[in-house]
Amino acid sequence: MNSSVSASFVVGAVRVQPLGPCLVRVEARGPKGFEDRETFTVADRAGGEAVAAQETHGAGGTVVATAHYRVVVPDNATSLDGVRVESAAGETLCELSRAMLDKKFLPAPSALPAVWVLGDAPRVVPPAWGALPPPDGAEDATSGWDLTNDAPDAYVFFPRAAGYARFRADFLRLTGGIPLVPLYALGLWYSRYFAYSEETAVAVIERFRQENIPLDVFVADTDWRVGASCGYAVNEALFPDMARFVRQAHARQVRIMLNDHPEPKGKSALDPEELRFRRNGLVSLLEKGVDLWWFDRNWHTHLQAPAPGLDKEVWGMRLYRDVARSFRPERRPLIMSNVDGVNNGRRDAPSHPAAHRFPVWWTGDTCAEWNYLRLGVSNAVDGGIDSLLPYVHEDLGGHHGQPDPELYVRFMQFGAFSPVARIHCTTNVHRYPWGYGAAVAQVVGDYFRLRYRLLPLLYSAAHEAHWTGLPVLRRCDLEWPEFPEAADPTQYLLGDDLLVAPILEPARRGAETERSVWIPPGEWQDLWSGRVRQGPATIGVCCRLDEMPLFVRRGGVVLSAPQRQSTGVPVWPELVVDAFVP
């Protein structure tokens, strides 16, 4: 019998590594041996709680046992097939197989399984310089990325035994944390697929200021470039001096994001020619002061995937992040890309387990329809749990079509309480608040002005997502997993104490719309009427067009700051503390 503390145990071609009381790695030997390097998916295997483990040999196999679990490896094992994971008492919890390594949704706090397996598949090892062009002397066909030691590699979690918070912490320790976004990401973004010029873009920014509607990011979709589709050459007929345009926007406290439809270059995603073209193209605009990039794969051309199973979505996230971080190492990088697994508002597949390291994410080209508003709320709320993506967001108003005033207002109300508030649409339609008349502009402006007063709450939620993985929009089963109603993804907590339930259907009669809201345990105060509701209970709430269901926990606190027209810096000399005393 051999005994060790968090040691590795090799049985035939299989290695077992206890990584904590509720996490164990079971790995098959690769062509280059067992893998100890950082991979695309796994950022850090160290740092967990050391556990004592013992190895015993018996008839037909070897058992690696801790106080919490056992791994049984058959004699002469050549793969993970047939390796059993058992409870400490010897109950079989799962038998490993290659199929278990496929990417999958993370479990919900209200439905924790006994085991959950993360597969590092495909196992790709990055070079020290990441997705940048290789330095002189290090150039090869894959720019230093090692794709030659792929092998079945399973990380087995025990969520039910760990509890949800510890499971989430173990997952993030292994795969990397969620970055803290810059404050301006929490402001209002305005975007439209439209051939803006320097003059007309500045005029839109000025109009937001004149209407007293805050704004932090202006997006020049795709016509900023020659040909309006691919490449990095500026269309000087529209933007004769891109650096001057950016300076004008910055003088008005607005950042600029450009869209990129990245046509492939070179023979593969890792070809040095491809990485040089991408880095040089992006940097050429960053040098002009452009603040952030939109990696848009919702187009007829897109990046290549570097390896089967490592899709273009998450590869693009990594590539754009590495370029931005290398150019401005003193700033938090920010890119926008499609949610891996959500296609034009429809959730089709799980995200890559490393996608949470590269915020922010949008759900693709949706439509100005009520069902897409409902999908948008659900995607944002569920995405924070099943993929640990706290900044999933919609094209507010939908990409295609022109919403009527009621639908437009309901989209914007949700946007005011979204992780990212980004108005967007295609050409030939608009989403200007003032385009709907003074009454709608007043309601929409009021909600976005409220969002800016709530910046301390939003930034605190972003900080919590960074440190613990707790999403910005918190589905109620994170706190009350014992109630089935708490898993409803059409309502959520923003921060600790604000309960938000967006209106998702048109008014059926009169001027009010009714929706049901699940009130969690305790006392919750309606922020419109002041009425206190006792939970748990499901109630009907009626709202005029300028209202939406908002409740605050009695005993809770909501922080707000004086009104701003842009986010500025995260310093608030004055804070208002609204304490809701029970």
The secondary structure of residue 403, as a DSSP letter, is -
pLDDT at 41: 98
Query: Is the per-residue pLDDT at 513 higher than 60?
Result: yes
Average pLDDT, the chain: 95
467: confidence class by pLDDT, cuts 50, 70, 90: very high
The answer to whether the bond into 360 is cis (omega within 30° of 0) is yes
Which whole number is the average pLDDT over 229-256?
97
Query: Is the per-residue pLDDT at 189 higher than 90?
Result: yes
pLDDT at 453: 96
Q: What is the pLDDT of residues 391-414, one digit of tens each?
A: 999 999 999 999 999 999 999 999
Instruction: Tell me what percent of the residues of the chain surpass a pLDDT of 90.
Output: 90
Query: Is the per-residue pLDDT at 365 higher than 60?
Result: yes
Residue 285: both structure tokens together? 């605009």
Residue 159: both structure tokens together? 């969520």
* Helix, strand, coil percent values for the chain (each to nearest 5): 25, 25, 50
pLDDT at 83: 96
- Look at 7-16, 183-192, 293-302, 378-387 and tell me which has the smallest mean pLDDT: 293-302
pLDDT at 254: 98
Provide CB contacts within 8 A for 559, sequence distance 6+.
454, 456, 457, 460, 575, 576, 577, 578
Query: Which helix (DSSP H) or strand (DSSP E) does residue 118 occupy?
Result: strand 116-119
Query: Is the per-residue pLDDT at 2 higher than 70?
Result: no
Query: Which helix (DSSP H) or strand (DSSP E) does residue 220 occupy?
Result: strand 217-220
Q: What is the pLDDT of residues 282-293, one digit of tens each?
A: 999 999 999 999
- 471 Ramachandran zone, left/alpha/beta (phi>0; psi -120 to 50): beta
Query: From residue 470, how far is each of 382, 481, 494 by CA, in Å?
Result: 12, 15, 11
Query: Is the per-residue pLDDT at 12 higher than 60?
Result: yes
pLDDT at 3: 46
Q: How far apart are CA 571 and CA 455, in angstroms?
A: 10
Q: Up-side HSE of residue 561: CA atoms within 13 Å toward CB?
A: 20
pLDDT at 301: 81
Nearest to 117 by CA among 22, 5, 31, 10: 22
Q: Up-side HSE of residue 369: CA atoms within 13 Å toward CB?
A: 9
Could you identify the residue written with the tokens 């873009």? 201
Angle, helix 455-468 to helix 438-453, in steps of 10 degrees: 50
- Look at 45-49, 181-185, 422-426, 446-450 and tell me which has the smallest mean pLDDT: 45-49
Q: How far apart are CA 562 and CA 576, in angstroms?
A: 8
pLDDT at 6: 62
Which whole number is the average pLDDT over 470-497?
97
Query: Is the per-residue pLDDT at 1 higher than 70?
Result: no
Query: Is the per-residue pLDDT at 298 higher than 90?
Result: no
User: What is the pTM for the complete model shown?
Assistant: 0.96
Nearest to 353 by CA among 154, 128, 180: 154
C-alpha angle with apex 138: 135 to 139, nearest 5 degrees? Answer: 90
Query: Is the per-residue pLDDT at 463 higher than 50?
Result: yes
Q: What is the pLDDT of residues 68-119, one digit of tens each?
A: 999 999 988 899 999 999 999 999 999 999 999 999 999 999 999 999 999 9
